[in-house]
Every structure is written in C-alpha cells, then in structure tokens.
Amino acid sequence: MSVTAAQGFRATGVVAGLKSTGDRDVALVVNDGPELAAAGVFTSNRVVAAPVVWSRQVLADGRAQAVVLNSGGANACTGPDGFADTHRTAEHVADALEASAGDVVVCSTGLIGLPLPMDRLLAGVDAAASGLVADGGHDAALAIMTTDTTPKTAVARRSGAGGTWTVGGMAKGAGMLAPGLATMLCVVTTDALADAETLDRALREATRTTFDRVDSDGCMSTNDSVVLLSSGASGQSVSEAELVEALTEVCAGLARQLVADAEGASHEIAVTVRNATTEDAGVAVARAVTRSNLFKTAIFGNDPNWGRILSAVGTVPESVAPFDPLTLDVAVNGVQVCRAGGVGEPREGVDLAGSRDVVVEIDLHAGDATVTVWTNDLTHDYVHENSAYSS
Amino acid sequence: MSVTAAQGFRATGVVAGLKSTGDRDVALVVNDGPELAAAGVFTSNRVVAAPVVWSRQVLADGRAQAVVLNSGGANACTGPDGFADTHRTAEHVADALEASAGDVVVCSTGLIGLPLPMDRLLAGVDAAASGLVADGGHDAALAIMTTDTTPKTAVARRSGAGGTWTVGGMAKGAGMLAPGLATMLCVVTTDALADAETLDRALREATRTTFDRVDSDGCMSTNDSVVLLSSGASGQSVSEAELVEALTEVCAGLARQLVADAEGASHEIAVTVRNATTEDAGVAVARAVTRSNLFKTAIFGNDPNWGRILSAVGTVPESVAPFDPLTLDVAVNGVQVCRAGGVGEPREGVDLAGSRDVVVEIDLHAGDATVTVWTNDLTHDYVHENSAYSS
C-alpha cells in the first residue's frame, strides 16, 4: 500500500519513456487533505541536483500538496537549464491539479549530467495526473526504481482512543547509499494530525537513526530526498513521540530493504558498537568499519577477518571516539574472535556461508552508548554493476 | 640496488619458512657507519602492531644500527606475547651483530591476529646475519613482498663539490594502502652526513607529499613504517633542503610503484586539484574522489563518469574546503567533461581503454594551491584477492 496506506492520498506510477527498459518511470503522490502539512530532509552533499534546490524551497513553508518523482535521469549538474526543467515540471503538475507550483515537490533519480527529455516527462505527468487512484502506492513505488530489483514499501498502523492512524512510505535506492541520507528518494505519508514543525522534528529524528545509519558503498548522492506529507484525514491528533515512533518504524523498514537490495550484495551486515562514550562516537567507529573495503570483501569471502575490523576501528581519531585499543572486543555472529585487542575464539567457529545476515559487535569499553550501522558486502556483482554501464 | 646503493650498508633477504610459498621472507639491513643516525614515521592507526610500538621506542633517540623485517605475519593484535616476540627478535639480531637491541628496528607484514612462528623466524635471523652483503638490497626487497607482484626500489644520486652521495630505498605494499602512511613497510638509507633531527624533519617532509598522497583502497594499516638510516659514509655534509629533495625523489618513486602494483588495479589514477584555498583543502577534495568506490569502478569500466567525481567532491564540508559547486571544472585525460558544475565536452571524447594512466583535474576556482593524490581503480581482481583468501 505504500504511500496510499494512509487516508487522504492518491498516487500512481506511469510509463513516460525515460527508462530504456520501458518500465514505469514517473510517479505522482497527491495529498487530498484536509491538511497539507509537509516536511523534508535532503542530502548533505554540496553538489545538489536541481530538484533538491527546488524542493527545499517548496518545503520551507511546511506545506506541500504533491510530490512528482522520475527515474531515468537525476537532473544533477545540469546548470540553469536543469533548474528550469524542474520548475516547468512543478508548474505542469500544478496546472493539472489546479494547485500552486510552490506546493509541488520534485524528485529525480538516474544518471548525473544529462538533461531530462522534457516532452516525454511532461506527457508522463499528464498521464499520471489523470490516473491518480487511492490504491496507487504500489505503482508509484515501482516507478521510482532504478537498479533496485524490488520496490520498497512499509506501513505502520496505530490505534488510539479516537480511532486509527497510519504512516506509509516508499523508497528507492540501490547504489550510492551513504549517511546523510542513505536513500536516494523516499516519500512518507500520514493521516495523523500534526503541524509542520512537529512533522519536521519527527522526520529528522526518525531519519537520524534509520536512513542516516545505512551505508552501502560510502558514496553520497546529489539527489537524496525524504519527503513527509500529512493529510490529517484520520482526524487523530498524535503526540510528537507517537509520531516519531511510527515514522521510525516505517523508515527503519525501508532502510533495511535498501540494504538488502543494495547493488550486488550477498550479505547484509549489522555493525553494532557497544559502550561508546557517546552516540556520535559509536557511529564514527561503526562507519569506519562499514566503509572498509577490506572488511567488506572479507565478508563476501565468508572470512570473519577481525584484523580488518580492528584496523578500521583504529582509524577513528581519539578526539572523535575515546577508547583503549588494548581493551577492544569483537564478536562476529556471536563468536568472540577478538578479546582485549588480541586473539579470542578460533575464527573457524564463525559460519558466514550459511546466511545473508552478519552481525558484528564491537565493545569499546569506554562508555554506555550503543549504536548500529547497516551495510553490505563488496562483491564482484557490485564492481560489475558499477563498471559495466554508466549509472 | 635499493637499500645498499648508499655506502656503509649491507643487507640480505632469506627464506625462513614464514611464507607458505617458500619465497624469501626475512630481510636484514645493517648500517656499518661511521654514523648511526636514524628516523622513522609510522601509521597513524590507533591499533598498532607490536613491531610499531617497539620501533617507535628504538628511534626515539635518533639512532639505529639495523632493521629486521619479516613478511608472512603482521604480529598485530597479538597482545603481550606478540610484543615479547618482537623484543626477542630484536635481541636475537643484536646478539648476532654484537649490537644493542635498543638499536634494532623491527618491521612485520602479513595477516593480522596470528602469532609469528618464532623458531623459524629466529633461525631466519641467524641466516640473514651471516649472509649480509654489500649488494644485498635486491634480495632484501624481495623478502618483504606479500601480495606485491614486483619488488619496489629507488635510488637518487647527487654530486657535490666534495664528491657524491646517495639515497636508496625499498618498499612493499599492495593492499591496505591509505594515507598515514600509504606503504606497509619502507626502508631508506643514505650515506650523506646529517644529524638525527635533520633526518627526522626531512623524512616527514618527504613522506608528507609522497606516501601520504597515495590511497589505494582507503584502508589504513596497523604496521605502516618508513625507516631512514644514515651512515655518513660518503663524508658529504648536505643541507636539509638537498636531503629533502633527494628523499622526496626516492619516496615518490616508491609510492608510484606501490600504486602501480596495487591489488588488482588496471588503471593508475592521478587526481589533481587546482586552485584550492589551501594545500589541506586540496588534499581533502582529492581524497574524497580517490576514496569513491563509484568513481573507481567507473574508471575500471573505462567510463569518464564525471557525475561521480562531482558527487564525491560535494561531500567535503565547506569548513574544510571552501568552493562554489557551480564553478567546478573537471577534465579527464585532458577533456573538459564538466564546466561550471554542468555539462562540458562530450564524454565520448575521453579514451580510457588505451592506457593504464588516468589524469583527473578538478579546478575549484577558490585559491592558488594545487595538489595531486594517486590511486587506482576498483576491479574484480581487487575483490577476488581480498575475498578469496585471508590477508
């Protein structure tokens, strides 16, 4: 059900001919209200695509009526003409919906540095606008896929005294996943009643512990966008804590699907850092490991090579994460292969071939903060997918 | 000629049985004086091998008589027993040479987390001590190889008014190359007269612009060591500037050989950043590109994918490297594929298939500092070498 699980939304995904495959490539999500509150978080890359520049402005007033998304082209590094194309797209959606272009969020994904074929895109927008349906969330999720092999959707439902409310979302992302954000594109909708400021805070809190803790290949996109729309159609007022909890469930579900479908991956890896001095320190240590190509190739080879884990942990400056290297413990899939910075249980006891899931636990013995960052292994298929053709 | 190109040095490399291949695996380099001045720079990893802990202490007084090196085992993450093994190795060398263990530098390379087979290693030390020869530099360079396919050596000779002096060196390193330092092990010798403080400053200056500007796979070793020994046997006093110049030539030659022989590489890539505000800013931008797996797989695929270059450049915080993303220019092998942050010349004009050498030039238009960082592409062979067996 994805973005149409919550009341007050319609969506669709159509074939506009942007993808050479002939698959769906333009998605439209519309909020029918009664409320039009919205929030967004975007890539922290300084090189940003035209639609990111546009959509930040759209969401600055905490209000949006529609999100139009296309695959088949990122519209990044396309100069003033690229921005004009984004603007035209928003105007076209606004005309079709009898809305204001200033309430239309635009998201694009695909190859960087190529102009969008605007005639096909605008025709696709017309088709999408006339095909909006209350159960169109699945088609919309299909239309934003690039090298994804499956659509990613998640739904959380909550019952209160006055009735039920829902959060639903869709995401796409296969390569170029790295914190800030980990996803290329994501739209989350809810029918709960919440003002824009609450939505903004709740979305930042939910993405901080989900999308920002996923690191597929250490590369950060120019187009990453997470957009949250609230229709208020359930009539249910919710607390910020309730909203954070449900949003986090949906975002975590989508983030895990992103890692599971990352380009060429054969293992999903959870790196948990225990007893860090702070959450930031733990994240820094976990990310050092999740970004180590030597660690990630070892996991692909089903080798619990804890020496590569320790050598990655040791690259984090003491000013960022205080710990004593001689007290480090490391367990892989429950076997403590490293104890006090030295040899622990025999690595032969670790079975990595039997499952896609790998759990690495690193104990810093320095504080009481625990964090987990998710990644995947580095495989021949990753090299193939990213060298055999442009993406 | 390697470490025996300069006068006053003997060396050798022997088979001790540490490598399963039966190749040479223990090297010994001895300074016969008259001077025993020395300096060293080591990995900035906080997880350091026992020989690094030992050798930092040895070099604290600016004096060393010998360097013993082994491949076939890193002696890292081996706890107090590992440190005792390093200490025993130094004592054994000292006994054989009638020297002090406090003047014996120890270097190890190989798998992390395994104890060294000390009986074989010490027998190898005996064989090496009795086999030292004035032209043993090549054998020593062979004995420190791991997954290297060729030994790395370099020599610089200088003639002054009073005669000639020489700097020679050897290095090994194939994977786990990243700044701070880029090499696993390197020994450089000179017969120039220079005190320990001058050697130390000159070595730091030479490594800063050579080994520290090489980044193969973004992974930093626990064992990286560069040791400089001076015999003074030429009788030639040199200025610090002259010494830096010759040391830089040797270190640059070795660093380029490391990149050319990096695991699985099919292209050597020079990333030059022009018009950065500072040298540090330029290095940060260049490293962001040399660490991008998406960029490195594109080069493997002979694809001048400048969008992946820009998306990597954009990850550098403005506080580290001020620049305007809308003024960025990028050239690949001389073709300006990106102009002012947007589309430039057609990428079809770039030929990457015809040569191993790739030159990427990024103009930040922000200042007047220019730096180059060297790396290589990310290939199937890299994944194979680092997943098919433990290293």
Most confident of A156-160, B135-139, B383-387: B135-139
How confident is the prediction for chain B on average, in pLDDT? 92
String of DSSP letters for A264-324: T-S-EEEEEEEEESSHHHHHHHHHHHHT-HHHHHHHHTT---HHHHHHHHTTS-TTTS---
Q: Give the range among B58-72, B159-173, B324-338 with minimum mean pLDDT.
A: B159-173
Could you give the strand order of the β-sheet that contains B9-14, starting from the edge strand earlier in sequence?
B9-14, B26-31, B66-70, B104-108
**Which amino acid is present at A207?**
T
Percent of chain B with pLDDT over 70: 97
Instruction: Give every CB contact of residue A198 below 8 A, 6+ residues apart in sequence.
Output: A240, A243
Same domain, A373 and A354: yes
> What is the nearest CA distance from B33 to chain A, expressed in angstroms?
37
Averaged pLDDT for residues B183-206 = 94
Same domain, B243 and B116: yes
CATH number of the domain enclosing A346: 3.10.20.340
**Three state DSSP letters for chain B:** CHHHCCCCEEEEEECCCCCCCCCCCEEEEEECCCCCEEEEEECCCCCCCHHHHHHHHHHHHCECCEEEEECCECCCCCHHHHHHHHHHHHHHHHHHHCCCHHHEEEEEECCCCCCCCHHHHHHHHHHHHHCCECCCHHHHHHHCCCCCCCCEEEEEEEEECCEEEEEEEEEECCCCCCCCCCCCEEEEEECCECCHHHHHHHHHHHHHCCHHHECCCCCCCCCCEEEEEECCCCCCECCHHHHHHHHHHHHHHHHHHHHHCCCCCCCEEEEEEEEECCHHHHHHHHHHHHCCHHHHHHHHCCCCCHHHHHHHHCCCCCCCCCCCHHHCEEEECCEEEEECCEECCCHHHCCCCCCCEEEEEEECCCCCEEEEEEEECCCHHHHHHHHCCCC
Contact A300 B47 (CB under 8 A): no
The rounded distance, in Å, linking the Cα atoms of A276 and A286 is 10
Instruction: Give me the phi and psi of B203, to 5 degrees please.
Output: -65, -40
Closest-CA residue in chain A for B217? A293
In the A/B pair of chains, how many CB contacts fall below 8 A? 206
Torsion angle of alpha carbons A334, A211, A17, A385, nearest 10°?
Answer: -40
- A391 marked ligand binding residue: yes
The rounded distance, in Å, linking the Cα atoms of B69 and A12 is 66
Give per-residue pLDDT as tens, B300-323: 999 999 988 998 999 899 999 999
Give per-residue pLDDT as tens, A189-225: 999 999 999 999 999 999 999 988 888 777 778 888 9
Model pLDDT, residue A272: 97
| Cβ count within 10 A of residue A270 | 18
Model pLDDT, residue A261: 85
Same domain, A193 and A306: no
Nearest in space to B158 (alpha carbons), one of B64, B279, B271, B241: B241
Model pLDDT, residue B289: 95
Structure tokens at A104: 């239309």
Contact B314 A47 (CB under 8 A): yes
Model pLDDT, residue B5: 96
Which of residues B192, B225, B260 is at a domain's end? B260
Which of residues B260, B279, B306 is at a domain's end? B260
Averaged pLDDT for residues B233-261 = 94
Indicate the SS3 state at residue A7.
coil
Contact B342 A113 (CB under 8 A): yes
Model pLDDT, residue A177: 56
Residue B259 pLDDT > 90: no
Closest-CA residue in chain A for B290? A219
Nearest beta carbon to residue A315 from set B45, B297, B387: B45
Q: Which residue in the block uniquely carries the two structure tokens 């299909």?
A: A142
Q: What Å distances lie between residue A351 and A180, A299, A381, B126, CA to CA?
A: 33, 11, 22, 41
Same domain, B87 and B107: yes
Same domain, A233 and A352: no
- Band (pLDDT 50/70/90 cuts) for residue A280 is very high
Give per-residue pLDDT as tens, A13-47: 999 999 989 999 999 999 999 999 999 999 888 88
Contact B46 A315 (CB under 8 A): yes
Model pLDDT, residue B178: 58
The rounded distance, in Å, linking the Cα atoms of B147 and B85 is 24
Contact B176 A311 (CB under 8 A): yes
Q: Give the range among A59-63, A197-201, B243-247, B346-350 with minimum mean pLDDT.
A: B346-350
Closest-CA residue in chain B for A221? B311
Contact B222 A310 (CB under 8 A): yes
Percent of chain A with pLDDT over 70: 97
Contact A380 B382 (CB under 8 A): no
Q: Judging by beta carbons within 10 Å of its beta carbon (0-12, 13-18, 19+), is residue A17 exposed, middle or buried?
A: middle
Instruction: Give every CB contact of residue B371 below 8 A, 6+ residues apart in sequence.
Output: B213, B272, B273, B276, B279, B282, B283, B286
Same domain, A171 and A312: no
Are B297 and B378 a contacting pair, CB within 8 Å?
A: yes
Residue A73 pLDDT > 70: yes
Model pLDDT, residue A212: 87
Q: Which residues of A touch B388 (CB under 8 A)?
A: 301
How confident is the prediction for chain A on average, in pLDDT? 92
Percent of chain A with pLDDT over 90: 78
Residue B232 pLDDT > 50: yes
Same domain, A276 and A203: no
Quote the DSSP letter at residue A214.
B
Same domain, B344 and B199: no
- Band (pLDDT 50/70/90 cuts) for residue A173 is confident
- A375 marked ligand binding residue: no
Averaged pLDDT for residues A330-357 = 93
- Band (pLDDT 50/70/90 cuts) for residue B265 is confident
CATH number of the domain enclosing A136: 3.60.70.12
Cis omega (within 30 of 0) on the bond before A322? no
Averaged pLDDT for residues B245-267 = 90
- Band (pLDDT 50/70/90 cuts) for residue B222 is confident
> What is the nearest CA distance from A302 to chain B, expressed in angstroms?
8
Contact B387 A46 (CB under 8 A): no
Are A112 and B310 a contacting pair, CB within 8 Å?
A: yes
Same domain, A282 and A251: no
> What is the nearest CA distance from B391 to chain A, expressed in angstroms?
8
Nearest beta carbon to residue A340 from set B79, B113, B294: B79
Model pLDDT, residue A112: 87
Residue B118 pLDDT > 50: yes
- Band (pLDDT 50/70/90 cuts) for residue A183 is low
**How many domains does one find in chain A?**
2
The rounded distance, in Å, linking the Cα atoms of B34 and A122 is 81
Residue B204 pLDDT > 70: yes
Which is higher by pLDDT, A9 or A255?
A9
Same domain, A133 and A23: yes
Same domain, B96 and B138: yes
- Band (pLDDT 50/70/90 cuts) for residue B152 is very high
Give per-residue pLDDT as tens, A91-145: 999 999 999 999 999 999 988 888 999 999 999 999 999 999 999 999 999 999 9
Same domain, B191 and B65: yes
Model pLDDT, residue A181: 46
Are A329 and A353 a contacting pair, CB within 8 Å?
A: no
> What is the nearest CA distance from A294 to chain B, expressed in angstroms?
6
Find which of B43, B77, B217, B384 to mutate to test the A interface (most A CBs within 10 Å of its CB).
B77
Which residue range is the domain that position B135 belongs to? Answer: 2-260
Residue B196 pLDDT > 60: yes
Q: Which residues of A touch B313 (CB under 8 A)?
A: 46-47
> What is the nearest CA distance from A37 to chain B, expressed in angstroms?
30
Q: Which residues of B touch A44 (CB under 8 A)?
A: 315
Structure tokens at B379: 């290939």
Q: Which residues of B touch A115 (CB under 8 A)?
A: 343
Catalytic residues of B: 183
Nearest beta carbon to residue A386 from set B297, B312, B325: B297
Find which of B311, B358, B380, B384 to mutate to test the A interface (most A CBs within 10 Å of its CB).
B311
Structure tokens at B334: 């001389």
Contact B325 A48 (CB under 8 A): yes
> What is the nearest CA distance from A172 to chain B, expressed in angstroms?
18
Nearest beta carbon to residue A383 from set B79, B300, B343: B300
Which of residues B260, B284, B315 is at a domain's end? B260
Residue A284 pLDDT > 70: yes
Instruction: Give every CB contact of residue A78 below 8 A, 6+ residues apart in sequence.
Output: A49, A50, A85, A113, A114, A115, A116, B342, B343
Contact A219 B307 (CB under 8 A): no
Q: Give the range among A259-263, B1-5, B192-196, B385-389 with minimum mean pLDDT.
A: B385-389
Residue B133 pLDDT > 60: yes
